[in-house]
Amino acid sequence: MLSTNKNYLIVIVGPTAIGKTALAIDIAKYFKSDIISCDSRQFYKEMTIGTAVPSKEELMAVKHHFIQNKSIFEPYSVGDFEREALQKLDELFLKNPVQVMVGGSGLYVNAVIKGFDDFPDIDPQIREQLNSDLKEKGLFYLQEKLKQLDPVQYEKIALNNPQRVTRALEVCIGTGKPYSSFLNQKQNERNFVPIVIGLETDREKMYDRINKRVDLMLQNGLLEEAKSLYPYKEINALQTVGYRELFSYFDGEYTLDFAIEEIKKNTRRFAKRQITWFKRTENIQWFSVENALKNILNLNLE
């Protein structure tokens, strides 16, 4: 049972395609709450199919926030999301002491429930040089550089995400200290108790769900959506699995069949990294997706 004099944020996390959205909707219906979306790519209104935005029926079933509320042409950071999500939660808790947040973006989840870490200002020339190195020497060069300067963050970070690698490196170079040394320095106060639920299933089932989702995205028009975004392929938000591979197809680097297989492979790799991230996160209660709802509602959530 939930205490009546506290606010609770039920957070649903786990790898892509595992069924987080469906469970979040069921839980939100049970508690008559809203849903805060915490997927760093579903924020963007130009990206619908490739980010698996909830369907119209799902969005009508429960009020969602932070779904396609930004443009890929707007700068938007995890710090911006933290501030806006907390403000929205303050509003929602006035109406209902239980709210739901769902998403697979671990950094954004942590920002809301723990707080975003403070970093010193960095000389912008450092980022310019790193971006130049990325273009001329490739991502592997930056990955190896990060491994030397901050082996702790190297083990945690999404290594195939050039923005994350570049950000970590610019802090290392600009401060002379490891990026990881700035993490978890403070404990921000929150006006809610977070209850973090992790969804899991066996790997074969997860991979099968991923492969089927990619096939469904293509049936629903992913190729056409990616083609419409191709002129803007250098924008940070579009450095995303599902779009990146199709951009390579448009560039003539991949055949379409190879691009599709790369999407599936890279999505599976992304799911593995999500699992690694969340398994290292403290205070997550894990449930099999097959019977999660019943077991979660039977929890003593105090």
- Domains in the chain, ordered, with CATH? 8-116+185-297 (3.40.50.300), 133-182 (1.10.20.140)
281 assigned ligand-binding residue:
no
Task: Give CA separation, 233 vs 72, 228, 229, 239, 240, in Å.
Answer: 11, 10, 7, 7, 10
Amino acid present at 113: I
Question: What's this model's pTM, rounded to 2 decimal places?
Answer: 0.80
18 assigned ligand-binding residue:
yes
Number of residues in the chain? 302
pLDDT in tens, 202-211: 999 999 999 9
Per-residue confidence at 177, pLDDT binned at 50, 70, 90?
confident
Q: How far is it, in rounded angstroms, from Cα 97 to Cα 174? A: 42
17 assigned ligand-binding residue:
yes
CB 107 within 8 A of CB 79: no
103 assigned ligand-binding residue:
no
Q: How far is it, in rounded angstroms, from Cα 116 to Cα 118? A: 7
CB 117 within 8 A of CB 185: yes
Average pLDDT over residues 251-259: 98
At 183, which helix (H) or strand (E)? none
151 assigned ligand-binding residue:
no
20 assigned ligand-binding residue:
yes
Task: Report whether pLDDT(84) > 70.
Answer: yes
16 assigned ligand-binding residue:
yes
**Token match 């671990």: residue?**
106
Task: Give CA separation, 53 vs 42, 67, 247, 286, 292, in Å.
Answer: 6, 7, 20, 24, 22
Q: How far is it, in rounded angstroms, from Cα 201 to Cα 180? A: 30
Backbone angles phi, psi at 52, to 5 degrees: 55, 45
Average pLDDT over residues 169-188: 80
